[in-house]
Structure 1
Amino acid sequence: MRINNYIILLFSASLFLGCSGTSKIPEGDLLYVGHTISVKKGEEPKKVRKKIKSELDGLIRPKPNKSFLGLRPSIFFYNLIGEAKKEKGFKHWVKYKLGEEPVLMSKVDLNYNQKVIQNYVENRGFFNAISKADSIKKGKKAKANYEVALNAQYKIKSVVFPKDSILLGKEIKLLEENSFLKVGNAYDLDHIKNERSRIDLKLKERGFYYFNEDYLLIQVDSTVAKHEVDLLVKIKNNIPEKAKIQYSINTIYVYPSFNLKRDTVSKRKMDTIKYGDITIMDNKTVFKPFIFDKTLLFNKQDLYNRTTHNLSLNRLITLGTFKFVKNEFKENNTSKNELDVYYYLTPLPKKSIQVEALAKTNSANYSGTELNINWSNRNLFKGAELLNISAFTGIEVQVSGQNKGFNVYRFGGEASLIWPRFISPFQMSSGSAYVPKTKASLSYEYQLRTKLYSLKTFNSSFGYLWKENERKEHNLSLVNIAYTSPNDVSELYQSQIDENASLQKVIDRQLIFGTTYTYTYTNTMLKNKKNNIYFKGGIDFSGNSLGLLLGGNDETPKNLLGVPFSQYSKLEFEFRHYYNFNKETTLASRIIVGGGIPYGNSKDLPFIKQFFIGGTSSVRAFRARSIGPGTFDGSTVTDNSFLPDQSGDLKLEFSTELRAKIYKIVKGAVFVDAGNIWLLNETTEKPGAEFTGQFLNQLAVGTGLGLRFDFNFLVLRTDLAFPLRKPYLPKGSQWVIDDIKFSDGAWRKENLIFNVAIGYPF
């Protein structure tokens, strides 16, 4: 027994030494385990010293091997494998993916790091700073120590802009008011660099096409006073004459059939088409001239402007018609202060066909496949109009849930036509980087829910889409018509209706004739921000004009084409916040608030416009559409295996999720979800479903863990969740935290919900 203990002790010691990373350090060298930085206390506020220390930490090189509880498993795996002769395979993967080469003290240049520290603090205005560097050895390990005394930070005493009589100097002087350099602020080299860039950008907005920020000099005089500096903004001597000239636009040339593979400008005869200030060079009229007049923002005699330059390029790209967009400016031969503008455009193929096979999931916990065939014509009427005709077919099934076995089969098609401009009797235009669009669409879908019913749905719409910038987007559908008609209602479903009359709403014929508007704001494309947000708000009105013309009330609704038209107003808002601790860890939160009010010709909201909650992208601890409304328990309605989708007129939902990288493509998540739906009016069919002042005490709450497998082209998500609060239980018993028993099979069967989905929940 004692021998076995010795063997275990020896094995443990060997493993510890291997994981500690010191077992195979070359003779005479040491394992580098990191550094410390000490910023001595001086006159500076503690906040300044803390910030300087944090920024210096990120500058020190090299980085040590990562450790966990004093162990360095990456070095262990590196040493475990000998030479990996091939650049792929299991050995290479273990040595260079799991493993990491030891960072040795011999690779650490203390003098270089000390100079980096000294240079950095001087650039922050600590001209009298003193820095030192040394190292400490302990066994086979070594650590670098850096010490810096900041002393006093220099402040800006004055900022002097040019007083030249030349045009360039006068223009720079006009930019003084919004300078980044302010009297009394601390000296900072980055602020000086940013000021030069700011002036350069502003001058390019004022016609100085050939100017460059390197032509500016900001001199620093630190002798004017104790711990103060004067800054003098100057134009360098002997800069090119072109840089001093303010250029305006002369002729605008467009080559709409340019081919990158050959010189289609000089080797082919071109027809010349004049349209306003634009000259179109082409051997055939592929595009109508007006499209370029609406897309390009420069006009003859305009001063050159960098923003207008970039906006015009972006508008050409977002037309969706050109594969490549090339642009250049040339000095006009007859005027030294005018530029000719050239746009070389390579069209995409006019017609194309695309076949897609998709895997998908939806909020009702259904997963399935879909086949899409899309045919496009990118220049239907020679005005860059986009015609899309698509057909689809698919199947969706519930792997687990109350509707398991009731598969959904779908097929249908859609035709849409997009004009890259506003089609309107009123004058409408947009000067943003995105071309405004008018869209008309017509679609049909046939949906079969096996054993239950089928639905035929027709949709048509006409409206506008436009973006102010990359963050703000608008979608206004002036006319939105939807007609739904049921077929083949089964005896099973009819028997369900006899037990639960609200199921009739699902298969009622519906006619929606309304207007919708959505506004979206997001900055999630900015990856380096600490905080990212997403907001989407929408309004939906239906039947108001018909109500005025035809009248009608919910007791004796008026018909249009033999179908009662729906009349309601609906609002829905969604806000998301992403707090990025670092590139690998994010706290994501979401709140959804929605409400719809039927009136006039309708007693209830149309089923397709009602709110649902629960499922893979909602409150994940409850099965899809199984929560509410209010404290109503839908599972008690019927003993049959099929359970109805619960719907409501109002919705409130919260979610927060901590996402962290576990290993390469694998991320983990811990989440808490809460929410419910309610009905506006009391109903005997669903006791407890009405919205009251006690709504916060009626929220369903759940929590769980999840894994996200990020394959770049898709994210596969798995979540395991369980409820913390069940709103349908008797008052005082709704919190079920004390009932949690993971070891109990009956509890697991009733409460554990496993979700599989594609993409993040939000």
Structure 2
Amino acid sequence: MIKSRHNLSYCLFTAVLIAGCSGTRNLPEGDLLYTGGSVDVVSESTPKKERKALEAALEPLLRPKPNASFLGMRPKLFFYNLAGEPTKDKGFRYWLRNKVGEPPVLYSEVDLEYNKKVLQNYAENNGYFNTTSVADSTRSGKKATAEYTLDPKRLYTIRDVKFPADSSLLGTAVSKVRRGSVLKKEAGYSLDNIKLERGRIDTRLKEKGFYYFNEDYLLVQVDSTVADHKVDLIVKIKNETPDLAKNEYKINKIVVYPNFKLSKDSATVVDNETLEYNDFTIIDKENLFKPRIFDRTLYFKKDDLYNRTDHNLSLNRLVNLGTFKFVKNQFKVSDTIGNYLDAYYYLTPLPKKSIRAELLAKTNSANYTGTELNLNWSNRNLWKGAEQLTISAFGGVEVQVSGQNNGFNVYRFGTEANLIWPRIISPFKFESSSGFVPKTKATLGYEFQNRTKLYSLQTLKGSFGYLWKENERKEHLFNLTEITYASPRNVTPLYQAQIDSTASLGRVIEKQLIFGPTYSYTYTNTMEKRKKNTFYYKGSIDLSGNITGLLSGANIKKGDTIKVFDVPFSQFIKIENEFRHYLKLGPDSQLASRVIVGAGFAYGNSDEMPFIKQFFNGGTNSIRAFRARSLGPGTYDGSTNNNTFLPDQSGDVKFEFSTEYRAKIYGLVKGAVFLDAGNIWLLKEDPEKPGAKFSKDFMNELAVGVGAGLRFDFSFLVLRTDLAFPIRKPYLADGERWVLDKISLGNSGWRSDNLVFNLAIGYPF
């Protein structure tokens, strides 16, 4: 009897909830809830595939959009009704009604005739001339739907595309760019394609000197009388096209104002001293910039045929110099020579010197979270060649929020100087045709790091190399040399005792000297938000001591170790590849995936890779179901040692895979569910770490973790929380590594041993 009452109560509660979520209560008197519209394309002369495609294109055009529904319920409408009418414009009730909820979409807001015309126009603009349509509605209780039926007849296709045949300069130019036309014979008529073709022709003519031309001077006539359900498209130049638009132009004077002042009400030119340099006239009374930077930055030269590509590339390069606050460009018809343009560049410099303080929140791969204070001083025009010098000082503290190293805080301070030249400093000539200025960069830095209760490290770094971008998607970074010198300080008895029991820990505080070239290549199109599939790839190679080792004949296996400043230099090759794929599933959801493959090989003067150059796994930006840097190598379980802290586990080979479904939950709150897999391995046997060596069975030694998390996107930063747990543990016996059957979320002991909470800044990838 009691069970029956519970069932009855459950059914009544469910019925009330469904009724509430349906949103049909609290409607205005005499009105109905609009639940959506449908489009039915019926035509005996249109193939079924075309009808279905047309229906799919037409339905999103219907207005208004009905309330969002899920399994027949409308939760946003439910919360709107639940909140009722708030008495003030703030508070929980106001938030629930206006932020979480949404008002009902009423049938009285639906204009059947307007929607019918929209659908009919779309069909006719896409070649279904003489389309007929009917609109109707259906009422069911307090709900109403709209139904639209279209008869599109037969599709009109393009028989021929005709371009101007006259011998005028503009007519000939339009005719010459017909190759690559988006208007194809036998294709269906499309008004959108006609608009695209006008834009394409305009773009092509801009590359051929027609500066004053624009697509509005083109007309595409449609002749539907040429054949049964066929059209001819005739591209014409409008009679009212002005003479300026009919001519092609070359470049005459190129005038640069490098110190252009913007007053409050108008722009004024302050300097009036003129300097002639190659093809440029530079007006810079204060001599702020060396003229050669404009020769390297601007693509136009005297007598060049105007083209939009060089126009845009020049502007991009001026902006990319990082020296000017405003960049303005103007072309005027020359007063002295016909069909020529004078080019003017008005440049407003940024303040030459500036100082900036930054307070940062940060996380790192070791699962440490903390804060950092940066002080930066900049000089944006050091030697009048747009060279940028930045000197920074920093200090911060990092703590591990969760994990065995909680309490072993890290304190850091240091300084760094960066000098960037807006050119490639090299004995070899380097040409770049992109809109990004190639740069030479020199860096020198010092850092002191104190790991509480353990040890301190001081690190001196320096590098000299080149950065250049082929375009916005492809970037290269080549350091001719990158030097790192690390030296330990203040090793505590606690850490020394751990070294005595685990010798490999001594590698962390060894003196290290690393020098050699590095190169990385990055490709990304993730900035193209309209693409459904976007990619990111970064490949890098790190070489240390290769030439020195070769010339000196260093061979640690034979005892021939070479030292520089009484420190054995490291000799190795390290290669790493990272690939990311982003699949857009909707306006607020995506599937993000990442694969990382890397390997490092020490030889010659080194028996193993230096610790700071090895690979690590686990943590906030890696396999999140395992503590930071605790996973591996191989089947080795580092958590079984008796250390009072958890030492970082490192390896020579790395494989990592992650996939994450991301979706917006509400407002600035986004959610994710994810799966991570991977491990690290050593290339050589280590008696202290059995099972760590890389072998052909490496796929059987992968760790796998799953989890979910929230991302709070505040625009200026993303705060990320992830909760994860392992479903495969590589350090267990073969055949017992999958632990899905041992998951017990209700068991506190299981949660303590398996649940890993990650707090981080930014997305993991």
Aligned counterparts, 1:182-581, within 5 A = 182-261=184-263, 268=270, 270-555=272-557, 556=559, 557-581=561-585
Cα deviation, 1:533-562, whole Å, max 9, x if unaligned, reads: 111110111101211332211232101111
SS in 2 for 1:627: coil
Corresponding residue of 1:588:
592
**Counterpart-to-counterpart distance in 2, 1:50 and 1:740:** 46
**Counterpart-to-counterpart distance in 2, 1:507 and 1:487:** 8
Q: Say yes or no: does 1:743 pair with 2:750.
A: no
2:710 to 687, 704, 707: 707
> How far does residue 398 in structure 1 lie from its aligned partner after superposition?
0.9
Cα deviation, 1:191-212, whole Å, max 9, x if unaligned, reads: 1111110000000011101101
> How far does residue 504 in structure 1 lie from its aligned partner after superposition?
1.5
**Counterpart-to-counterpart distance in 1, 2:147 and 2:376:** 64
> How far does residue 76 in structure 1 lie from its aligned partner after superposition?
4.1
Q: Is the 8 A contact 2:259 2:271 kept in 1?
A: no
Corresponding residue of 2:687:
684
Return closer, same or farther for 1:265/1:283 CA change in 2, 3 Å cut-off: farther
Letter in 2 for 1:705: A
**Counterpart-to-counterpart distance in 2, 1:484 and 1:180:** 61
> How far does residue 42 in structure 1 lie from its aligned partner after superposition?
4.3
**Counterpart-to-counterpart distance in 2, 1:8 and 1:523:** 52
Q: Is the 8 A contact 2:260 2:268 kept in 1?
A: no
**Counterpart-to-counterpart distance in 1, 2:5 and 2:155:** 66
Letter in 2 for 1:519: Y
| Bigger shift: residues 263-272 or 480-489 | 263-272
> How far does residue 675 in structure 1 lie from its aligned partner after superposition?
0.3
Return closer, same or farther for 1:325/1:729 CA change in 2, 3 Å cut-off: same
> How far does residue 228 in structure 1 lie from its aligned partner after superposition?
1.4
Cα deviation, 1:51-102, whole Å, max 9, x if unaligned, reads: 3222212111111122234333433444455655755444443332223222
Return closer, same or farther for 1:669/1:6 CA change in 2, 3 Å cut-off: closer
Cα deviation, 1:126-185, whole Å, max 9, x if unaligned, reads: 114322211001112110001122332111111111111011111111111211111121
Q: Say yes or no: does 1:618 pair with 2:632.
A: no
**Counterpart-to-counterpart distance in 2, 1:367 and 1:13:** 48
SS in 2 for 1:176: coil
**Counterpart-to-counterpart distance in 2, 1:154 and 1:679:** 67
Q: Is the 8 A contact 1:630 1:688 kept in 2?
A: yes
Corresponding residue of 1:138:
140
Q: Say yes or no: does 1:21 pair with 2:23.
A: yes
> How far does residue 502 in structure 1 lie from its aligned partner after superposition?
1.4
> How far does residue 8 in structure 1 lie from its aligned partner after superposition?
9.8
**Counterpart-to-counterpart distance in 2, 1:267 and 1:106:** 60
**Counterpart-to-counterpart distance in 2, 1:26 and 1:56:** 30
Q: Say yes or no: does 1:725 pair with 2:728.
A: yes
> How far does residue 5 in structure 1 lie from its aligned partner after superposition?
11
> How far does residue 32 in structure 1 lie from its aligned partner after superposition?
1.0
**Counterpart-to-counterpart distance in 2, 1:532 and 1:737:** 33
**Counterpart-to-counterpart distance in 2, 1:247 and 1:366:** 61
Return closer, same or farther for 1:559/1:6 CA change in 2, 3 Å cut-off: closer
**Counterpart-to-counterpart distance in 2, 1:315 and 1:521:** 20
Unaligned stretches of 5+ in structure 2?
none
Corresponding residue of 2:127:
125
Corresponding residue of 1:170:
172
Letter in 2 for 1:703: V
**Counterpart-to-counterpart distance in 1, 2:439 and 2:8:** 78
Return closer, same or farther for 1:369/1:262 CA change in 2, 3 Å cut-off: closer
Percent identity reads 63
Q: Is the 8 A contact 1:31 1:104 kept in 2?
A: yes
Q: Is the 8 A contact 1:319 1:420 kept in 2?
A: yes
Return closer, same or farther for 1:197/1:568 CA change in 2, 3 Å cut-off: same
2:700 to 677, 697, 700: 697
> How far does residue 7 in structure 1 lie from its aligned partner after superposition?
10
Return closer, same or farther for 1:275/1:89 CA change in 2, 3 Å cut-off: farther
Return closer, same or farther for 1:74/1:737 CA change in 2, 3 Å cut-off: closer
SS in 2 for 1:32: strand
**Counterpart-to-counterpart distance in 2, 1:267 and 1:658:** 54
**Counterpart-to-counterpart distance in 1, 2:685 and 2:6:** 74
SS in 2 for 1:702: strand
Cα deviation, 1:450-487, whole Å, max 9, x if unaligned, reads: 11111111111000011111111111111111111111
SS in 1 for 2:430: coil
> How far does residue 335 in structure 1 lie from its aligned partner after superposition?
2.2
Return closer, same or farther for 1:5/1:560 CA change in 2, 3 Å cut-off: closer
| Bigger shift: residues 14-23 or 45-54 | 14-23
Corresponding residue of 1:599:
603
Return closer, same or farther for 1:676/1:169 CA change in 2, 3 Å cut-off: same
Return closer, same or farther for 1:84/1:574 CA change in 2, 3 Å cut-off: same
**Counterpart-to-counterpart distance in 2, 1:415 and 1:281:** 33
Letter in 1 for 2:134: K
Return closer, same or farther for 1:286/1:666 CA change in 2, 3 Å cut-off: same
Cα deviation, 1:201-239, whole Å, max 9, x if unaligned, reads: 000011101101011111111111112111111111121
| RMSD, matched Cα | 2.1
Unaligned stretches of 5+ in structure 1?
none
Aligned counterparts, 1:33-72, within 5 A = 33-40=35-42, 42=44, 44-72=46-74
Letter in 2 for 1:728: Y
